[in-house]
Amino acid sequence: MGIPFIVSGLIVKKQNQDFRTLRNRFQPTFHHEYDNYTQYVPLVATWGMKLAGVESRSSWKELTVSNVFSAALMAGFVNTLKYTTKEMRPDNSSNNSFPSGHTATAFMCATILHKEYGMLSPWYSIGGYTLAGITGITRQLNNRHWIGDVLVGAGIGMISTDLGYFFSDLIFHKNATGTRSTHHFNRYDAPSFLSLNMGFATGPSTLRTADLYDTEEGTPLGMRLHTGTSTVVSAEGAYFFNAYIGLGGRLRVATVPVIADIPEENKKHFDLDNDLKEGAPVNMYLLDGLESDHLGMCDIDLGLYFSYPLSSRFLIGSKLLAGQRTNANFTLNSISRINPAIFDRQKVSQEAYDQFYKADVDYYIQQEGLSVQEMLQSTFIDEEFLHIRKSSTFKLGTGLSLAYRYKENAALRLYCDYDFASPRLTYDLKNSWADENGNREVRSYSKRTPMHNFTFGTSIAFMF
């Protein structure tokens, strides 16, 4: 199962920054060190049960040799990549981010537990891989690794263990890699699973936004928010009571690119800093546009899962889910430039210039060292112009999947999911100067925003 994780990690590396943005918006202050310990728990459990006399796959010699090979291979792969790629960590602390050593260790330990005791009960495997997954997620939340680092690290951990056991079996002339068959299994086995899903989602091309105005009855901003194709990562699992029906849930995060579009006529007349409201003849700043950003979404769903076995290897699946969607807060910064009209004495008198504009122009000349010509060629960013608040809402979802069970405890899936939510988005607009206390007037607008999302992707599933 390691290769799909590595491929997924290399693909998703292009979205590293987007998923770090999600972390910064949902859990910006997260810092815990339990991942330093959870990475080893499955290995401690393996050796602990062995010491307690619980029969495992391997003898003491075989267990020792396979574990040593696995650890040596994992450390070799990880450190070779770390010190050749020299990728900077998200927190800029060092340039050995790729891949994640903690995650590689965690999945190596989980795979050892799975190989030794997974044949006794699938819950050993589920527990081990769950802890490994928690370790990887925590590495991202601690701002120590990118999502691509974690996925590739997980794959390296699993592949290293497979190779470690392969070499151990060669040394001890062991013909099988486990006590359970990996080629023959019942078509009507309950298809309980735990999976990691990756895909892309389409949704409304334009979000329904609230009408924003520079004053209570002034010029509308006329903003339209266009969305692009989003990147989606999710963890999903279900326990089946029989071959056809089960209960389960899904945790899903998505990052949606958002581009703001404003009509040219609105840009000309929108009062960007309340100059017109205060009696100025023209705006000092002209709005050029808004910087693009990403909308982060986190879904938590529970519901019914359905499956129909076409054969012992191919299964069709579906589901009916309900849950909660949380949209992260995000900001659209304004981009503006100095209006050349403030220097035109036919449009702006000297008296008006002195009253409304001179202090700001003098600041740029004296404090920033800009000439008038440089001012007119510069752009100015307001990072507090428009803020969209975090919100939560009820959601529904369904989907179809086709799974190929390439061995008894592993499957690859293709899936198409549909989700609907209608969050109420609240926009906080600040288009005024700060007062003597540094505060700016805020006007808030809200609007319900329906979102229909189709997600297409692939997943790696552990079957139990």
Paired strand residues for 411: 461
The CA-atom distances, in angstroms, between 392 and each of 26, 299, 325, 362 are: 12, 10, 6, 46
Cis upstream peptide for 42 (omega within 30°)? no
Q: What is the pTM of this model?
A: 0.84
Q: What single-letter amino acid sits at 305?
A: Y
The predicted structure's pLDDT at residue 272: 83
Segment 285-294, tens digit of pLDDT: 999 999 988 8
The predicted structure's pLDDT at residue 176: 52
Q: What is the CA radius of gyration of the chain?
A: 28
Inter-residue contact 58 to 116 (CB < 8 Å): yes
Segment 23-37, tens digit of pLDDT: 888 888 999 999 999
Inter-residue contact 439 to 430 (CB < 8 Å): no
The predicted structure's pLDDT at residue 183: 52
Spatial separation of the C-alpha atoms in residues 235 and 249, rounded to whole Å: 9
* Tokens 């989700």 belong to residue: 419
Domain ranges of the chain: 2-171, 193-463
The predicted structure's pLDDT at residue 218: 85
Spatial separation of the C-alpha atoms in residues 248 and 126, rounded to whole Å: 14
Spatial separation of the C-alpha atoms in residues 371 and 233, rounded to whole Å: 49
Paired strand residues for 427: 388, 445
Inter-residue contact 101 to 131 (CB < 8 Å): no
The predicted structure's pLDDT at residue 429: 94
The predicted structure's pLDDT at residue 177: 44
Inter-residue contact 116 to 46 (CB < 8 Å): yes
The predicted structure's pLDDT at residue 184: 63
What is the assigned CATH class of domain 193-463? mainly beta
Per-residue pLDDT tens, the chain, 464 aa: give them: 788 899 989 988 888 988 888 888 888 899 999 999 999 999 999 999 999 999 999 999 999 999 999 999 999 999 999 999 999 999 999 999 999 999 999 999 999 999 999 989 989 999 999 999 999 999 999 999 999 999 999 999 999 999 999 999 999 987 654 444 445 678 999 999 999 999 999 998 999 999 999 888 788 999 999 999 998 999 999 999 999 999 999 999 998 999 999 999 999 889 888 888 888 999 899 999 999 888 999 999 999 999 999 999 999 999 999 999 999 998 999 999 999 999 999 999 999 999 999 998 999 999 889 999 999 999 999 999 999 999 999 999 999 999 999 888 889 999 999 999 999 999 999 987 777 777 888 999 999 999 999 999 999 999 98
